[in-house]
Structure 1
Amino acid sequence: MFIRTENPQTFIKFYPVTVAILVLQIAIWTIYLLPLPSVQMWSNLMTGFNLGIAKGEWWRFLTPIFIHASFSHLLFNSFSLFLFAPALERMLGKVRFFLIYIGSGLVGNIGTYLIMPLEYMHVGSSGAIFGLFGVYVYMVLFRTDLIDRANSQILLTILVISLLMTLINQQVNMIAHIFGLFGGLAFAPLLLNKKSDGF
């Protein structure tokens, strides 16, 4: 379930939305390395900034999902997406997978806006990725026909470790992680097909 054995061509064919998200966030990171004033301006406009949102810059709920603060941040989130997204994209289909990913990221960023101070700034796809965890948790709790015991144990172990790291690491947006997780839990019963093939 979480082990990828596809060659690049097959991976692109089976998981086009996952690939598109990976390519987009890597491309944005690469562009932001360019030492140009216009690049810095766009970087500032796309960052999650609560004060900017309060002033009507609503796009800041969405754009931070695709931006990362450092190469290690990008690498960790891209690797997480590479591991955990394909199985869900195959099960849900392209549209429903995209809706859950973006929806969970938005819920995470809305939670950040509601709870964190106005000067708070943030970037990263972690809220959306935790939303994918939320879908898996929903399956473990309520749709055991879709996930077997072995994969359930692996998933819950990874989730517990991820949540512990969230609480320990002061640099991460804990609110986005938690709200993203619950966003995925909330969207799962709406978008999971009753006749989906399980793992």
Structure 2
Amino acid sequence: MFIRNESFYSFRRRYPIITILVGIHLILFIWMNFLPFGNWIRALGIGYNLAVANGEYWRLITPIFMHIGAGHVIFNSFSLVIFGPALERMLGKFKFIVIYLLTGLIANIATYYLGGLTYPPHLGASGAIFGLLGMYVYLVINRKDLIDRANSQLVMTIILIGLVMTFVNPNINILAHLFGLIAGAALAPLFLSGAKPFYAEQRVFVDATEPIFDPNRWQKKRKNTKIVKQIFWVIFGVLVLSGLLSRFIL
């Protein structure tokens, strides 16, 4: 679910919503940092509770797409590329973009109401990405038919590490992370209705001379190989979350 081996062409064809979102991240990052009127775009779209109180309600959505630092945009986009594809395929394009934007919106609304008018300006896709992680929490607990044991262990380990890092790192929008996660888990039953396992759409080979797809193939690997792979992806997930949790509050 979380290992990407597609070419760029096949990835953008199979996951168009994620491709578009990452493209928006990069375009806005380049515009805000290197092109004319970049400072104006940043000032107009950044999350700022006092401005929201004065009627600039678009600031509850626009920060989801905006990043300033190169590390911030790269790691947030990486997180989306890793955790998003399985959900885009299971939910479908429309449900995926709705849950992504809705959890990001809820995260920013929580920041507005609980952070107060003096809360510092904030931006980044982390709240929405934690919304996706919240959906995985629900999958692991209540929809084991949609996620296998190995992926369950992997994603829960990464989520727990992400939560710990949320509280120990400075300049983090803790409210957005927590409420994005909660919103994703709470809305998951509604959006996962009728969903099929990610592996269900994979091609099954019937030619005896060709390999046969087996959704339980990872369980048949030797135990030490499985442990090495899990350790690798946990470390990679930690690195991704390190970037995900950086410079969320300016």
TM-score of the pair, normalised by structure 2:
0.77
How far is 1:148 from its partner?
1.0
How far is 1:119 from its partner?
2.8
Contact 1:108 1:179 in 2 (8 A): yes
Letter in 2 for 1:90: R
1:162 is aligned to 162
How far is 1:198 from its partner?
4.4
Extract structure 1 runs of 4+ deviating beyond 4 A.
none
1:50 is aligned to 49
1:24 is aligned to 24
Q: Does 1:172 align with 2:176?
A: no
How far is 1:115 from its partner?
1.0
Q: Does 1:68 align with 2:74?
A: no
Contact 1:134 1:182 in 2 (8 A): yes
Contact 2:134 2:185 in 1 (8 A): yes
Letter in 2 for 1:176: A
**Residues 101-137 of structure 1: per-residue CA shift (max 9 Å, x gap):** 1011001000000111313210000000000001111
Contact 2:110 2:176 in 1 (8 A): yes
Letter in 1 for 2:86: A
1:88 is aligned to 87
Unaligned runs of 5+ in 1: none
Contact 2:50 2:118 in 1 (8 A): yes
Letter in 2 for 1:131: G
1:79 is aligned to 78
Which SS does the other structure have where 2:34 is aligned? Answer: coil
The separation in 2 between residues aligned to 1:197 and 1:82, in whole angstroms, is 18
How far is 1:164 from its partner?
0.9
How far is 1:34 from its partner?
2.6
Aligned pairs (5 A) from 1:186-197: 186-197=186-197
Contact 1:66 1:124 in 2 (8 A): yes
Contact 2:91 2:195 in 1 (8 A): no
Q: CA RMSD in A?
A: 1.2
**Residues 147-184 of structure 1: per-residue CA shift (max 9 Å, x gap):** 11111000100001111111111111111000000111
Which SS does the other structure have where 1:2 is aligned? Answer: coil
153 and 50 in structure 1: CA distance in 2 versus 1, 3 angstrom threshold: same
Which SS does the other structure have where 1:99 is aligned? Answer: helix
The separation in 2 between residues aligned to 1:95 and 1:8, in whole angstroms, is 22
Contact 2:89 2:198 in 1 (8 A): no
Letter in 2 for 1:62: I
The separation in 1 between residues aligned to 2:76 and 2:152, in whole angstroms, is 21
Letter in 2 for 1:109: N
Letter in 2 for 1:93: G
Which SS does the other structure have where 1:53 is aligned? Answer: helix
The separation in 1 between residues aligned to 2:10 and 2:193, in whole angstroms, is 24
2:219 is aligned to none
99 and 60 in structure 1: CA distance in 2 versus 1, 3 angstrom threshold: same
How far is 1:35 from its partner?
5.7
> Which of these two proteins has the greater Rg computed from alpha carbons?
2
The separation in 2 between residues aligned to 1:25 and 1:198, in whole angstroms, is 26
Unaligned runs of 5+ in 2: 200-250
The separation in 2 between residues aligned to 1:6 and 1:35, in whole angstroms, is 32
Which SS does the other structure have where 1:176 is aligned? Answer: helix
Letter in 1 for 2:171: Q
How many residues align? The count is: 198
Contact 1:67 1:123 in 2 (8 A): yes
The separation in 1 between residues aligned to 2:175 and 2:191, in whole angstroms, is 24
Contact 2:18 2:84 in 1 (8 A): yes
Q: Percent identity?
A: 47
TM-score of the pair, normalised by structure 1:
0.96
